[in-house]
Structure 1
């Protein structure tokens, strides 16, 4: 029987809850029962009864009998601070309704309970309100489990709803090796049925025509496409498992891609792509790679457009994990970003005073910023173990914002589910269902939100320290980038291989590698090894050459088994005994197969003359491709030296011959 409490009974009931120590002590020793919310009405009013379903798990060793459920409706929370207090404290009760239950709750048993309660009497207050609810499971009239949640009561359909910008970020870190083998990680579980990404996508798919912002990671899409065609994955035990196309994780990846295509295809979805490989903008800038941001953004948008069948917006940007500093905001502004989507608490604000929209400034650059409600994020995180209750409490926070000034236009709140999400998978469907069913909320895209909720607030980008790449890591990365540039200039027709190697280097710049540099270095090293494999197919076959005259031709046999045409530099190094008539270095084009070159030389003497033959890559700072020291045996005579030698010999013979002539006697 429902009891509408009068003023005297209010005092008595409040005293009964908070006063007698015997009841409090009795409750303390009662067997512990964990209550978990299963479902609750999004809002209630006249003719819309309150419906609550929950589960109770008896964690004690004793059976509980004489069960009942007590529903207590408290006085409405008239402010956001009172609403938060009502989630942990007992407000003054307005209605108490007991619901006797049959049977018992055995040890370890989990049992479902459901209550339906008319709340028409609340209309006598004449206003909409946010009412605290307390649900108690009782055994022999002693509370053994408690749930607290809000109830939104509407007296009429709202004329001025609260604008809501909500952003869903679907992201995963890099979880594969350069050879394409996936590593143990969260990806398979996140895309499996009931996984985080699958539940987020399903919740988005159920929004219908509600506007929403969806940020899709380029890393995630790339890995989903790899998996959908079948893949290999390294288990925790160290064994490689093969998943064929259409099975297991491959089927899950294909299904998730299909769902995301449906979500992206809706006109109401504002689709946002991340830059290729999800780099950290501050880390990219400090590495001297800031000028590449436009290329990375274009690549990310191309990948999203190809995978999901729709172009992403370029006006709205989500910096990875909200990592933004005074140096990187001008980069975003310079490439056309007009709105950035930030994490809760990105700029400091007093409690309940965080602006949903403001102007973010760094030097002369400024963009509109959407700032999620930090109180909602904190409340939701408090209820990790009860995701449905977390969704209901989050909705209550939005209701408390709206009910502060329910008839005032141009008011709004923002919500963002970031890269790590942080909430249990089942939270997302519950929250999406509640928002969809709430007429006092007006979901909209971020680009519309910044114009619908004007703000004169201007905030400077706060200085923050973010992770950056180490010096040795950057040295190896930059060395490989330079090597790939030379490879591009040297090897003709290497387009597909070069694209793959460039992708490896972009992967090495991913934010994932800030926390796992060893994985990043494996991509850097893979580029160097792939280039070296091509170069190793080039050989110098000549070993010894005989030069019978002072001037002659040096034949050099070169082999190119790479299957590619190479534009190289041939360099010859020797001492002063051998001169190269046309210079010591010359450009050479090596087609596939074997080729013999003739080099004009001039020997200054006879004997064995070592010559170092080098084949170098093209470019300002050439890279060695092949090197070999050959020997030139010179049998030529220097005519000048020969004439001088003969002349000297004749002179000596004449000199000594004079001694044999008879001397004249005086």
Structure 2
């Protein structure tokens, strides 16, 4: 079924008869994400949806016309405008004042004001027409009733060209058979002429611009997504750390970002969303087990400054970027800083760690391998090394000079005592 639909769409694109409207990667409410302080989520969903359609059909979708959800407010128009929207389709149920008759109101253009008072052109959709698509009596009845209403609208005054827009019912699923029957009936009806949304706006504004009525939006309450936003932010941080380990954009990281975007789908409940997030966290956590170090990495220093060898195994099949964070018990300094960036090739890696000993004896050095993101979120490995310093020339010279000074002081004091006795 999907293959046939894709083939039909590709054919329509090649014929130039298809207007492809931009839509998010998954069903999402822009106003809900705006209120949650994450309008970027809807932006990313729109970008991803456009990319998928362009990849499949070779055609860039059009963002100039949007179908407003029932929760839209003036600030929603601002957000959609920043994403490229110029005109809007709105249900008559969401307008104040409500058009006297939805079908009659749908024949005229409207104006909607954003939060700055700027008017946006709109066309009004008849909600009663949309309800036919979910007729409980079945697909045939749905197609018959919709076609009958459209016929009444067309024949009520044959001398006047009327515009009617049928939108998909929000948050309801239209089965494939109903959609197929309706589209076939509408396409074959002799009294109907199908037009793309941009063509309808152009025609309406050209003929009825003066008749456009300014409406206020009458929104439904927003389903909060604050919990989703918080959970998504945490998961995004983990995926960003994972991406940093892989050195930037990578197919494995892209797959996790796709899962994150699915969690924004309005159809998902909490349990379904948690399942996607768990998959993301499990994948990221699995990376931690791919980095191992030998149990004993004790080393011996014979000079004040040296490069300590640190060995770590990268079990991934790709290079991994990491940061080695160094900590000492106070007996070691790190002349080149306490953080070393490194690229680990698959397999065994030997990294030189520059240190400087303050004193001889045993010192403890902890090397923690972390992800290279700004937060260094992921700890891949942590190991403690015992560093034994047996002979430090600088320290020996200092001790020798100190001993000579002690002997000189002792000799001077002894000489004074003897001279005082004589």
TM-score, with length taken from structure 2: 0.79
How far does residue 613 in structure 1 lie from its aligned partner after superposition? 0.5
Secondary structure, counterpart of 1:512 in structure 2: coil
1:572 Cα offset (Å): 0.9
Deviation at 1:584? 1.8
Residues 313, 574 of structure 1: alpha-carbon distance in 2 compared, 3 angstrom cutoff: same
Measure the CA separation in 1 of the matches of 2:253 and 2:62.
Answer: 29
Q: Equivalent residue for 1:274?
A: 23
Alignment partner for residue 530 of structure 1, among 283, 286, 290?
283
- Distance change (3 Å), C-alpha of 1:494 and 1:432: closer
Distance in 2, matches of 1:664 and 1:452, equals: 125
Deviations 1:520-551 (A, max 9, x none): 23333333333343343233335212234544
Q: 1:583 to 1:372 in 2, by over 3 A?
A: closer
Q: Deviations over 1:358-410 (max 9, x none)?
A: 122213454333322234445x4895226544544444433444455443x34
**Which whole-Å CA distance do the structure 2 matches of 1:488 and 1:468 have between them?**
29
What does the per-residue CA deviation read over 1:172-221, in whole Å, with 9 as the maximum and x for residues that have no partner? xxxxxxxxxxxxxxxxxxxxxxxxxxxxxxxxxxxxxxxxxxxxxxxxxx
Q: 1:427 to 1:644 in 2, by over 3 A?
A: closer
| Counterparts of 2:11 and 2:195, CA distance in 1 | 19
Structure 2 partner of 1:285: 34
SS, match of residue 502 in structure 1: helix
Question: Where do 1:73-88 residues align within 5 Å?
Answer: none
Match of 1:604 in 2: 358
Partner of 2:301: 547
Structure 1, gaps ≥5 residues long: 1-251
Match of residue 319, structure 2, among 545, 565, 572:
565
Give the aligned length. Answer: 406
Cα contact 1:579–1:603 (8 A) shared by 2: yes
Separation in 1, partners of 2:174, 2:317: 53
Q: Distance in 1 between matches of 2:185 and 2:333?
A: 86
Task: Provide Cα deviations, 1:113-158, integer angstroms capped at 9, x if missing partner.
Answer: xxxxxxxxxxxxxxxxxxxxxxxxxxxxxxxxxxxxxxxxxxxxxx
Between Structure 1 and Structure 2, the one with more helix by share is 2
Q: Aligned partners of 2:333 and 2:134: how far apart in 1?
A: 82
Instruction: Tell me, yes or no, if the aligned pair for 1:550 and 1:602 is still in contact at 8 Å.
Output: yes
Question: Does structure 1 residue 506 correspond to structure 2 residue 254?
Answer: no
Counterparts in 2 of 1:450 and 1:498: CA distance versus 1, 3 Å: same
Aligned mates of 1:604, 1:393 — CA distance in 2? 89
User: In the alignment, what sits opposite 1:359?
Assistant: 111
Task: Please list the CA deviations of residues 10-38 of structure 1 after superposition, one character each: whole Å capped at 9, or x if unmatched.
Answer: xxxxxxxxxxxxxxxxxxxxxxxxxxxxx
Q: Out of 356-365 and 636-645, give the one that drifted further.
A: 636-645
1:382–1:324 CA distance, 2 compared to 1 (3 A): closer
Task: Show CA shifts across 1:597-638 (max 9, x none).
Answer: 333433333443221102222232223332112222333464
State the distance in 2 between where 1:643 and 1:308 align.
83
- Where does residue 336 of structure 1 map in the other structure? 84
User: Any conservation in 1 of the 2:114–2:120 contact (CA below 8 Å)?
Assistant: no
Check the 8 A contact 1:317/1:340 in 2, yes or no: yes
Do structure 1's residue 492 and structure 2's residue 244 form an aligned pair?
no
Runs (5+) with no aligned partner, structure 2? none
Aligned partner (choices 596, 616, 625) of residue 380 of structure 2: 625
RMSD: 3.7
Contact 2:36 2:226 in 1 (8 A): no
Match of 1:325 among 49, 73, 80: 73
Distance 2:384 2:219 in 1: 57
TM-score (norm 1): 0.53
Residue 46 (structure 2) aligned to one of 268, 273, 297 = 297
Once residues 280 and 63 of structure 2 are traced to their aligned partners in structure 1, the CA distance between those partners, rounded to angstroms, is 31
C-alpha displacement of 1:437: 5.7
Verify the 8 A CA contact 2:19 2:196 in the aligned structure 1.
yes
The structure in which a higher percent of residues are strand is 1
Say whether the 8 Å CA contact 2:90–2:122 is kept in structure 1: yes
- Taking the aligned partners of 2:309 and 2:406, their CA distance within structure 1 comes to 37
Post-superposition offset of 1:430: 5.5
CA contact (8 A) 1:574 1:612 kept: yes
Could you tell me whether the CA contact under 8 Å between 1:346 and 1:371 is conserved in 2? no
SS of 1:276 mapped into structure 2: coil
Asked if the contact 1:358/1:459 (under 8 Å) is kept, the reply is yes
